[in-house]
Structure 1
Amino acid sequence: MSIAATCATIVTALASAQGGETITLRGDCGAIAVTRTYPKLVTVNAEGASVRGLTITGGNLAWNGGTLSAPKGAHARAGDGYGVLIRNASDVTITGVVVTDAKKGMVVDGARGVTIADSRFVRYGEDGVIASDTRGLTIVRNRFADQIGKPTECDVGGKISYGLSRKDCIATKGAWQDGYHNDAVQMRNGVVDALIAHNQVEGETQGITQMDKTGDAPLEKIRIESNTLRTDGYHPITLGTCVSCSIRLNVVRRAPGSTKKAVIRAQGDTMVCGNTVPDMPSTGGPRCKDGASGN
């Protein structure tokens, strides 16, 4: 069954769907929440729509196309800065969207079976995708570019200086405010069974990273494959405590004018092979099982 929806009717259409429907959304919409887990796949075709804050806590949903941004933009706090929140959801696919004007483009937390594909993440503030406590994550064929991170600020008598450390700011008797850097894809706290492949990352950003907090569970079965990164950040590809993981067949280079080395960092027995990394003579690790080798 095909259903046409507007911003005014989409909530009713989602609430009354029985499974198997295709809902076509048009319009410039505010926040939308999908709370139901459908017995059959429900598809939302949103090529002609924009949504400021998409929350998915249900499942068996495919969202195709459109522009997704945060309710209050790229520098807002907490949920006001999320373009998409996928929390405790299952079997969710998002394809062909543009994610922009959000501090965190997509937040995936406590979810199962999430796919993010063929989308563009542009002009986001802190993270393109940040995932935690999630099993079965696929991030493929996306582009991350044009980030708008926030530098530190030091206010000395009303004069603002950017990029100073807290120590240097306090030494001038200034009031210091922290900023934030970008990561295209960041994982932490027990992400298991993830494929991150064939993505393009460019700009003043870190790339595909594991950034744990104290007490986080390790990552497991993470595959970072065939991505192209040209970045100005300290962590183009980084995995820390990761079990049965691999980094292979990626191309990692500096962004034009960058002084930060293009490197791959991996601890433990993570397989690191077949990558092109000009700033490293070898990325080490076991040989690829299919016979590919090299940096």
Structure 2
Amino acid sequence: MILTVTPNPSLDRTYEVPALERGEVNRASGDRMDPGGKGVNVSRAVAAAGRHTVAVLPLGGAPGALVAELLGEQGIEVAPVEVAGATRSNIALAEPDGTLTKINAAGPELSADEAASLLTEVRIQSAGADWIACCGSLPRGLQPSWYAELVATAHAAGARIALDTSGPSLLAALREQPDVVKPNVEELAEAVGRPLHTVGDAVKAAEELRALGARAVLASLGADGQLLVDDSGAYFASAPVETVRSNVGAGDASLSGFLIAGGTGPEALASAVAHGAAAVQLPGSVMPTPGDLDPAAVRVVAEVPLDRALTEPAA
């Protein structure tokens, strides 16, 4: 079972528009509503693959009730923590060329009691988990050290933990040695405090995160592919994508693929890339099913192209 923790979930509405024109009436050619938040998306991808998942998340108000309902419809077991504030609602505008404009709300502020209840629920649910995926930003009311507490809780329960967050929360959690961290290239650059221009730059940054405590680093390099750095070395993987329809949740689908395939080694990296490549070709934050995947298109190499310039370097 893969347990997910989403401290700041959302109700996501995605509109597909022919072209976004500021100050004008924009008519959508399609729209959909999904439960959102990085950990929620991981659970959705795990469920789409036919695997068992439990989603721990704080929920409040009518948006929170709708998030729980939508997750239940997708076969996801929900372990809610009731909070006083309403769950946030986000909006995404997707254009045909792949451009995505997002408006993310801040979300409710959690009280000290609510923060403690959330950690307690994770402790209760972690007993049966093979992996715990802790994902996304922290809501107001939770200190950056909260993720460090959660990692310690997961390890005490005997579960492996995957952490997908950034900034002070990521750096604070490294001391508890998460089993894998999953930054994108911008988050990786922020963590080491310098620009990343090549794949080699990303490898060096990943090695620095490992030196700070991360047991493995799964880094998304955008259109260039993904990088895995662990005890056995470094691996680079990529897959061709014909048309990018929406990248909402693609990184979360990728993490799901990595964990479904065992969460370690080049085989798991290949699964991560296959899931991410499939996700960007689907509308909104739709998660790929096994029928959407093309594992044969993924190329994994141990000879990492260190000098290869990143298509989208991180400042």
**TM-score (norm. length: structure 2):** 0.28
When Rg is computed on C-alpha atoms for both structures, the one with the higher figure is 1
Q: Which is richer in helix?
A: 2
Higher strand share: 1
| Higher RCO (CA < 8 A, seq sep 6+) | 2
